[in-house]
Structure 1
Amino acid sequence: MYSNFKEHAIAYVKQAVQEDDAGNYSKAFPLYMNALEYFRTHLKYEKNPKIKEAITQKFMEYLRRAEELRAILDCGGNGPNGDAAAATQPRTKSKGGEGKEGNDPEQAKLRAGLDSAIIREKPNVKWSDVAGLESAKQALQEAVILPVKFPQFFTGKRRPWRAFLLYGPPGTGKSYLAKAVATEADSTFFSVSSSDLVSKWMGESEKLVSNLFQMARDSAPSIIFIDEIDSLCGQRGEGNESEASRRIKTELLVQMQGVGRGDEKVLVLAATNTPYALDQAIRRRFDKRIYIPLPDLKARQHMFKVHLGDTPHNLTESDFEHLAYKTEGFSGSDISVCVKDVLFEPVRKTSDAKFFTNTSNGMWIPCEPTQPGAVQITLLELDAQGLASKIQPPPITRTDFDKVLTRQKPTVSKADLEVHERFTKEFGEEG
């Protein structure tokens, strides 16, 4: 099996050397990186010490050359071929507003496919809507809000964070936090999933990744949000890994590295439910890895209020506290589902009611038969009398919540939590 890794490495090296000799450094660099990854994987399996030593020597030789190319590209060098490294430079716009590749039909097609990833209307989720997660919000504000509003803060060696990984159990608010970033930031927001970046055509997926980052640079300041990044960037060297998957990861690594590009105003934000499944090299590219845990007591209390919104209810502060205590272990998604279910309880009561009372403002509300003014009549009978617009469901009560909570259970297991807590101790930080 491992001989395949060696063959792939040699094939990439041949292409890299060919591009290198031609002065096409921007093409040679990722090819060297591909070759190095295959050599590294091969070395894990190679048992013969002499062969291992020879491959290690070659590995170091190609690594040094790759680092030399990186230094050339970082300095904006073009090499012997004047246009060879043009792809590493940000595109300059002409008077007509078109980049130099503006007439390239293939480029236009790829960019048109990615155009839907740009969120043009802000999602209207504010920082205050996000319950808890104070350190995560602070870190994101430092990376997103401050550099745009107060660029003078970031001088000398002080630079804003450029890549965030949000990880945690499903339903804890990772994507919701990204929506808050999109709302609060004065930046172009690109929201992509694996399906946006995977193409059935050979070589097109890497171009999609490259174009995404170039579009982000052209629209800077900008934010690239990649949801469920683990589906794109699983561990390399696994038996079920495809060649296309390997190339996407390599391209993403190169782009996140920002070789020779002005990426100071491009932030990469990614979310995953399975951080251990993420490739180690990709994981290292994220300078901030923030755990988004299950909501605590105060956060759950806040979530119930946010999800209820202005729906009529008679819950007191102590009722919300009671609900927060009863939902220990619930995720934000679990609480959202619970509230959605509770919102229909008054409708169910109205549909099943046999008695209604006519209030002072002329509205009919379901009631108990013992209530003063109770009239024995059903919803359908009121409708038949032409009173459909005068029927109003009762306000939500704590009893409605208690009824729904008897049939709803948390969706995150203790085993899931242990995995994320272990990852946080090894690689992350508390949100």
Structure 2
Amino acid sequence: MATGSTLQKAIELVTKATEEDRNKNYEEALRLYEHGVEYFLHAIKYEAQGEKAKESIRAKCCQYLERAEKIKESIKKGKKKPVKEGDTESKDEKKSDSDSDSDDPEKKKLQSKLADAIVVEKPHVKWSDVAGLDAAKEALKEAVILPIKFPHLFTGKRIPWKGILLFGPPGTGKSYLAKAVATEANNSTFFSVSSSDLVSKWLGESEKLVRNLFDLARQHKPSIIFIDEVDSLCSARSDNESESARRIKTEFLVQMQGVGNDTEGILVLGATNIPWVLDAAIRRRFEKRIYIPLPEEHARLTMFKLHLGNTPTTLTEEDLRTLAKKTEGYSGADISIVVRDALMQPVRKVQTATHFKKVRGPCPKDPKTIRDDLLTPCSPGDPGAVEMSWMDVDGDKLYEPPVTMNDMLRSLATSKPTVNEDDMVKLDKFKEDFGQEG
């Protein structure tokens, strides 16, 4: 979504909120204020250009949040039991009110830090965009989609999974699966968290951030907390580590499955390339540990098709099958690099061509219009070849050369797989001991 459209959406929401506020529909106004502030925060983090723009948006956010807090207080007061004439509120009530007031500023500050972790815009990655990994997709649907769609199925002893760990070599689609979950789980709040969101230089603040993350997740449930590279936060505890690191891990353990903590409606989704360094207690709390392996031949074939998209190409189904066979040991990320490099080959042909010839084809600006005066790079010996460089070609007249099998093979020769054999042995061992095939 473009910057303007995100900010426009935020402005629309707060405009509606002020209208509802004026009409004394306070609950609806509160909901719209909070929703509008989420969009403003998204614009600050990802899209606002320049510090002045960010500062003005922050000032607006503070203004709307203050109004939202006042509405919240008035709603709470409206719901209190009426006090008898001549009576005053009891000391206990006053004390609890003052306590909550004193706790609020710190809690608000910590939760505002975590507000950026909430994914407001969906990544638009569907299950069909993920090639292969059927077992992993089924487990995620079972944990996320089904409990939302059919809550009556998950009652009594049948409860959805609370923790799922995706492990495997780098570039196999663990984070991409998480994007698919964020897109497909329409009614869920998706928290995308990294170690920088939870680690603070101030003593005691890191574990408070962890606790507040889970508190926010409980407030917005059903919710999914996705922790990428979970090994950076939850490695095995040892005598040599710092006290602060140990406390963060302890807080994670308590929040994920501790006494007095409600984890209903919350799924913790972790991803890691080195699962053997995880603490044993954290490993136990991830009830499903799914191995995301290197793609098989049929999955690699699908990946080539997905990455090529609608680019003009002369590749046949047989050519794609040959490429899938030749890329044994390549991860999904490696295949995307091979295809991206091959897609650049026609651009390189245009750049290095010394001769161009006229061809008939669709106009680059309007594909429905067919033109006879388009120019495409050719060899000097081709009939109708005219000596010229790409600088002499009109931008509207260039006919894009299609991607060929030779382009793909040339890219394949220069792009090598990135997965280490030693790591594969360790991952297979972890899968046999603790995991399941994805």
TM-score norm. by structure 1 comes to 0.75
In 1, Cα distance between the equivalents of 2:258 and 2:351?
60
Residue 389 of structure 1: how far off its partner (Å): 2.8
In 2, Cα distance between the equivalents of 1:306 and 1:256?
37
Give yes or no for contact 1:101–1:107 (8 Å, CA) kept in 2: no
Give yes or no for contact 1:102–1:108 (8 Å, CA) kept in 2: no
Q: Secondary structure at the match of 1:357?
A: strand
Amino acid in the other structure paired with 1:191: S
Amino acid in the other structure paired with 2:430: F
Partner residue of 1:425 out of 416, 422, 432 = 432
Give yes or no for contact 2:337–2:415 (8 Å, CA) kept in 1: no
In 2, Cα distance between the equivalents of 1:101 and 1:331?
52
Partner residue of 2:392 out of 381, 405, 426 = 381
In 1, Cα distance between the equivalents of 2:308 and 2:147?
35
Residue 380 of structure 1: how far off its partner (Å): 1.7
Amino acid in the other structure paired with 1:275: P
In 2, Cα distance between the equivalents of 1:398 and 1:102?
68
Match of 1:135? 135
Question: Structure 1's 353 and 101: CA in aligned 2 closer, same or farther, altered over 3 A?
Answer: farther
Equivalent pairs, count: 334
Residue 102 of structure 1: how far off its partner (Å): 9.7
In 2, Cα distance between the equivalents of 1:314 and 1:423?
43
In 2, Cα distance between the equivalents of 1:288 and 1:97?
41
Residue 96 of structure 1: how far off its partner (Å): 4.6
Question: Structure 1's 415 and 97: CA in aligned 2 closer, same or farther, altered over 3 A?
Answer: farther
In 2, Cα distance between the equivalents of 1:196 and 1:425?
33
Q: Secondary structure at the match of 1:390?
A: coil
Amino acid in the other structure paired with 1:255: Q
Residue 370 of structure 1: how far off its partner (Å): 3.2
In 2, Cα distance between the equivalents of 1:248 and 1:173?
27
In 2, Cα distance between the equivalents of 1:407 and 1:391?
28
Amino acid in the other structure paired with 1:404: S
Q: Secondary structure at the match of 1:114?
A: helix
Q: Secondary structure at the match of 2:425?
A: helix
Match of 1:250? 250
Match of 2:189? 188
Matched, 1:400 2:411: no
Match of 2:61? none
Q: Secondary structure at the match of 2:399?
A: coil
Match of 1:90? none
Residue 262 of structure 1: how far off its partner (Å): 3.2
Match of 1:264? 264
CA deviation string 1:82-114 (max 9, x = no partner): xxxxxxxxxxx8665899679722111111111
CA deviation string 1:128-156 (max 9, x = no partner): 11111100100000000000001111122
Matched, 1:176 2:169: no
In 2, Cα distance between the equivalents of 1:223 and 1:265?
8
Note the 1:323-342 alignment, pairs <5 A. Answer: 323-342=323-342
Give yes or no for contact 1:193–1:227 (8 Å, CA) kept in 2: yes
Match of 1:410? 417
In 1, Cα distance between the equivalents of 2:382 and 2:258?
71
Identity %: 60
Amino acid in the other structure paired with 1:373: G
In 2, Cα distance between the equivalents of 1:309 and 1:118?
30
Amino acid in the other structure paired with 2:252: L
Residue 393 of structure 1: how far off its partner (Å): 2.7
Residue 258 of structure 1: how far off its partner (Å): 4.8
In 2, Cα distance between the equivalents of 1:94 and 1:150?
35
Amino acid in the other structure paired with 2:121: E
Where does the alignment leave 5 or more consecutive residues of structure 1 unmatched? 1-92
User: Which segment is superposed worse, 202-211 or 359-368?
Assistant: 359-368
Match of 2:377? 366
Match of 1:154? 154
Q: What RMSD over aligned residues (CA atoms) do the two structures have, in Å?
A: 1.8
Match of 1:77? none
Where does the alignment leave 5 or more consecutive residues of structure 2 unmatched? 1-71, 78-96, 361-370
Q: Secondary structure at the match of 1:164?
A: strand
CA deviation string 1:199-242 (max 9, x = no partner): 00000000110010110110001100000010111110142x11
Note the 1:109-128 alignment, pairs <5 A. Answer: 109-128=109-128
Match of 2:224? 223
Match of 2:13? none
In 2, Cα distance between the equivalents of 1:235 and 1:430?
24
Runs of 4+ in structure 1 off by over 6 angstroms are none
